[in-house]
Amino acid sequence: MTNKQREITYGEAGVEALREEMGRDPSIVYIGQGIGPRGGNFRQTRGLWKEFGDGRLRDTGICELGETGLAIGAAMNGCRAIVDEVFLDFILEAMTQVIQQAATIHYLSNGKIKVPVVIRGAMGSVRNAGAQHAHSFYAWFAHTPGLKVAVPSTPYDCKGLLKTALRQDTPVMFIEHKGLYNSKGEVPEGEFLVPFGKASVRREGSDVTIVAVGRMVQLASEAASALQDEGIAAEVIDPRTVAPLDRDTILRSVAKTGRLAVVDEAPAACGFSGEVIALVSTHGFDSLDAPPRRICSLHVPNPFSPALENEMMPSVTKVVSEVREMLRG
């Protein structure tokens, strides 16, 4: 029997996942700044404190190092912990806890110690937030052995991936784009999970493969619609998790289309876009009919000026132009 579909926001889908999982598993605790009575900067925990109380949703001071260490310690001692960094940018204050501790303890203990912690944060540019509140460095964490990295782009995936994350026995970076919290989409009522390492083909096409994550999936889909008007059929692939990465779906798509473009809000240098292109160049080179392209932000700090920010970011117009040139070449 298929669960009934209804349309809710990305933010609401995350709250729903938390409510269901916290109701199912009393060992889940949530730690972070403003996530208690106030319900979070982005309403990402709205209503949960009233339902589950201060014992399971605990507000902290503005101290990412302390709250992250507290969550990792709780996870090592029998809890399933969530720590909300709010703005992913400031997880930099806690990187020693994430990289040196959470990602390595299972290995260093020869598997005796599990670290079921979800480290949640909001990335990306929205409303011209400036250079310190607009980073998209999710790929840093995919570089680290021992971490899983989920980057949901739809309300359906936000709920399904978060529920999956909360059932892992290993650390998960759960990274949401600030510009998606108010976006709406269909989410079924009732229980469902979205598996890690399984990409979604958001749009089928035969002329070019466009790979994108987070908010860039929406942008890539809009560009694909515009390209369709020009007779170009673009296939849009959303990996959903970048660690583990569904390599097979990307390679199958490029084998069909012969062309690859990666749209990423992060700068191109040493990023996720380069990883996808390296994957295809190594394992799908004979499928390529044109050099792959990276359509990324410029390698500059995120400017506060709206005009400058628009210039440095990927856009529908830029994606359409790059893909058009690729096919002409």
What distance in Å separates the CA atoms of residue 79 and residue 59, rounded to the nearest whole number? Answer: 17
Summarised one tens digit per residue, pLDDT across range 62-111 is 999 999 999 999 999 999 999 999 999 999 999 999 999 999 999 999 99
The reply to whether 5-188 and 200-328 are identical in fold is yes
User: What DSSP element (H or E) covers 7?
Assistant: strand 5-9
Taking only Cα atoms into account, the Rg of the chain, rounded to an integer number of angstroms, comes to: 20
Summarised one tens digit per residue, pLDDT across range 252-269 is 999 999 999 999 999 999
177 annotated active-site = no
What distance in Å separates the CA atoms of residue 21 and residue 23, rounded to the nearest whole number? Answer: 5
**Alpha helices, DSSP H, located in the chain:** 10-24, 48-52, 64-76, 95, 105-108, 139-142, 155-165, 215-228, 247-257, 272-283, 306-312, 316-328
Asked whether 209 and 187 are in contact (CB, 8 A), the reply is: no
Asked whether 296 and 273 are in contact (CB, 8 A), the reply is: yes
Decide if pLDDT at 115 tops 60: yes
> Residue 54 corresponds to which tokens in the numbers above?
């201060």
CATH topology of domain 200-328: Rossmann fold (3.40.50)
User: What DSSP element (H or E) covers 188?
Assistant: strand 184-188
Q: What pLDDT was estimated at residue 109? A: 96
- Class of domain 5-188 as given by CATH: alpha beta
Q: What pLDDT was estimated at residue 1? A: 43
Q: Kindly report the backbone phi and psi dihedral angles of residue 92, in degrees, each rounded to the nearest multiple of 5, phi listed first.
A: -55, -30
DSSP classification of residue 98 = I
Decide if pLDDT at 154 tops 60: yes
Domain locations in the chain as residue ranges = 5-188, 200-328
Report the pLDDT averaged over residues 176-182: 96
Which residues, 6 or more positions from 317, have their beta carbon under 8 angstroms from its beta carbon?
none
pTM of the model: 0.96
Catalytic residue (choose from 133, 177, 283, 299)? 133
Q: What pLDDT was estimated at residue 2? A: 54
